[in-house]
Structure 1
Amino acid sequence: MADLQDELHATAEVGELDRPDVEGEFEPDVLEDERGLAVDAGPEGDAADDPLVRAHALLAAHPVADGYSGLPWALRHLPWYDLELGESTIDTDVPRLREGHVAALFWSLHLPEGLVGERAVGATLEQLDLVKTVVEAHPEGLRMAHSAAQVTDARNCGRVAVLLGPAAAAALDDSLGILRALHSLGLRVLTLSGASWAGQNGLTRFGEEVVRETNRIGVLVDLSGASDATVRRALTISKSPVVFTRSAARALRPHPANLPDDVLVELGITKGLCLVPLTAEQTGPSVRDVADHLDHVRALAGPECVGLSGTYDSGAAHPQDLSDASGYPRLVAELLGRGWSESDLALLTWGNVQRVLRSADFTARAARSRREPSTAKIAELDG
């Protein structure tokens, strides 16, 4: 994060309005139990001492912005579904989103391995069209959003905001024009793994141009699954905060998509965002294991650089008590029991995602005044 970051810090901090002043705020007379039913705190406020009750109260004010859902691909294989009523064959539907206090959700446009070129572009467009069709069919529960402001508006209207992305790098077919077209259709996040220009040796010259163009148009760069060399180079050249949509701490669990400690420290310096996945493979089989990763990322990157990624409907196994989108209160209750402050939890669940969305928009507005749309070709730069 180079010169533009100085510009960011010279102004009011991007997303500053989303940083909550919440200490002592969550002591209502009427709280909710695990089922979301009203519980009278009583004159002594005994119910307020229950971490799960406190978790529901906190999430009611600062709901979850979930960084990754595989729902679009899962829905392709269902002959019929109604997300408003609920669907037992998938991990996510509107009732469970409400039970888990999820108010924003990134819907992945990722593809099965092996799709490349025109097939990858076509399949991504079909995924994008499916998402819009699903949202339009469930207007009482879902609403499309393309910015931090629209996410907040959807939440204020009682809807779950749906954001498009991440999409796979293969969806670009090595074309910056296709990147811009996908952005005009609503794409907000692009994953930099799996492309010839973002391999084990890092970003090629064309890969660096992809990062610059994502910055210019306001698409967030997702580095989960990218090589260590690609991660380090992208952290260096990106003017906008990068995100890891599905990465935990490699020191606790040596999964290739998890991050080593030095990268977590650098992420904190550059004000990026690590969205910790709720998967048994990457974080472990229990709520406590997930909390351990969140503790570790917060300690190294800072409380403003850690978030949540349900990774539901992606085919992954999930920790016990976090099997679907309704489980977030149990995770927040565990963190409350570990002494997380309510302000740090509000950043974890909602504020940090809002910050990077606002920052990407701010960076894009500044970059567009300095830089024309790139017409670079991979054959010219990497040939």
Structure 2
Amino acid sequence: MADLQDDLHAGTEAGGLDDLPVPIAAEVVPPEPYAPVSDPDDEPLTRAHAVLAAHPVADGCNGLSGALGHLPWYDLELGESAVDTDVPRLREGHVGALLWSLHLPEPVDGGDAVGAALEQLDLVKTVVRAHPEGLRLAYDAGQAIDARNCGRVAVLPGPAGAAAVGDRLGILRSLHALGLRVLTLTGVSWAGEAGLTRFGEEVVREMNRLGVLADLSGAGAETLRRTLAVSKAPVLCTRSAARALRPHPANLPDDLLVELGAAGGLCMVPLTAEQTGPTVRDVADHLDHVRTVAGPRSVGLSGTYDTGSAHPLELGDPSCYPRLVAELLRRGWDEADVALLTWGNVQRVLRAAAFTARAAQTRREPSTATIADLDG
């Protein structure tokens, strides 16, 4: 936990964006063309590798930090068969960025949740530091591009469960100072089936001021709608597909997909058999549906590897992303829409969150509100 203590004392204000390194704008240099090892006669797969070399995958949810916690030793740069995710497979699948899930084992709440989230953040930093040739921490869009230009996979900490914050905004600011960039608004009294309470709305406003994105996968419809109304920054659904195709509770009905798209949010379709179906074609069906209903700027990808979920055939680990993109190309997706799906939409949301935070910090001091003040 020494790293965490050092981070906590590194800046003058826990919630300030100035605590983090300011990325230097860099021209995007496309990586060298990937040489596919698959059948050279499979033209869509060859095209998929070429498209992904220019527009890599920004994966909305990876559970590697939790999976590694159970291993006595690992080497992700050499390759690690005990997990789904390692650097060779990330490179083979053209993954450029990962949101690393900090979700906590249930049941956990109160001080236990805070401590568990701190340990997860510490583990993420430890893992990245131990694999400098393959991974690099990133906290915003610019740093993700810098990591990619240097041949590294950008690791953005989050999403974490709202239980890690509890009902204290000071804890939210401290977690942000340590790198947290996405918070899932479920499992707490102020964000439930009835929607956000007044304190919940204050949490969202403080997240906007900090640049922490709201993840609404698994949240109730009223919480999603109220968050869309309150938040000045786009929101994410990091693990949600189309309920019209598969009636999973975390999948979104069409009316919410329409509202999410209208608000500039992002639905990141998970590659899990339970939510999307058992084949790569089923996943592509969900991507087609979300793109049609929410719009091409509101659809993304969420591998959900190393989360304990079963994955569709042909999509067993991150190296398989070209197979999914090849299926989309066969269906008539053009390169521009694939580029939005894999990389562009996540970049847009990250940039919007940073812009919103800079604007909010000129108008708003860190909130001192408590749940007793607002919810009584």
TM-score by length of 1: 0.89
SS class of match (1:119): helix
CA distance in 2, matches of 1:268, 1:229: 16
CA distance in 1, matches of 2:37, 2:312: 18
SS class of match (1:374): coil
User: Which one of the candidate residues 111, 115, 118 is aligned to 1:118?
Assistant: 111
CA distance in 2, matches of 1:93, 1:66: 14
Q: Would you say the 8 A contact 2:53–2:94 is kept in 1?
A: yes
Deviation at 1:382, TM superposition (A): 1.1
Aligned residue in 2 for 1:207: 200
SS class of match (2:160): coil
Aligned residue in 2 for 1:159: 152
SS class of match (1:66): strand
User: Which one of the candidate residues 72, 80, 85 is aligned to 1:79?
Assistant: 72
**Structure 2 stretches of 5 or more lacking a match?**
1-24
Q: Would you say the 8 A contact 1:250–1:261 is kept in 2?
A: yes
User: Which one of the candidate residues 164, 173, 194 is aligned to 2:166?
Assistant: 173
Q: Trace 1:60-75 onto structure 2 (pairs within 5 A).
A: 60-75=53-68
Aligned residue in 2 for 1:364: 357
Alignment-mate amino acid for residue 63 of structure 2: G
CA distance in 1, matches of 2:223, 2:34: 47
Deviation at 1:113, TM superposition (A): 1.2
**Structure 1 stretches of 5 or more lacking a match?**
1-16, 40-46
1:14-38 per-residue CA deviation (whole Å, 9 max, x = no partner) reads: xxx9xx9xxxx9xx9x873245x9x
CA distance in 2, matches of 1:286, 1:236: 36
Q: Would you say the 8 A contact 1:276–1:293 is kept in 2?
A: yes
How many residues are paired up?
A: 349
Q: Residue 96 in 1 paired to residue 89 in 2?
A: yes
Aligned residue in 1 for 2:35: 32
CA distance in 1, matches of 2:34, 2:297: 28
CA distance in 1, matches of 2:121, 2:210: 18
Q: Trace 1:348-363 onto structure 2 (pairs within 5 A).
A: 348-363=341-356
Q: Would you say the 8 A contact 2:34–2:53 is kept in 1?
A: no
Alignment-mate amino acid for residue 370 of structure 1: R
SS class of match (1:32): coil
Aligned residue in 1 for 2:100: 107
Q: Residue 130 in 1 paired to residue 123 in 2?
A: yes
Q: Would you say the 8 A contact 2:128–2:137 is kept in 1?
A: yes
SS class of match (2:267): strand
Q: Would you say the 8 A contact 1:34–1:52 is kept in 2?
A: no
Q: Trace 1:2-21 onto structure 2 (pairs within 5 A).
A: none
Alignment-mate amino acid for residue 161 of structure 2: A
Deviation at 1:381, TM superposition (A): 1.0
Q: Would you say the 8 A contact 2:314–2:323 is kept in 1?
A: yes
Q: Would you say the 8 A contact 1:34–1:53 is kept in 2?
A: no
User: Which one of the candidate residues 118, 142, 146 is aligned to 1:149?
Assistant: 142
CA distance in 1, matches of 2:86, 2:34: 24
TM-score by length of 2: 0.90
SS class of match (1:246): coil
RMSD: 1.8
Aligned residue in 2 for 1:188: 181
Aligned residue in 1 for 2:7: none
Q: Would you say the 8 A contact 1:247–1:274 is kept in 2?
A: yes
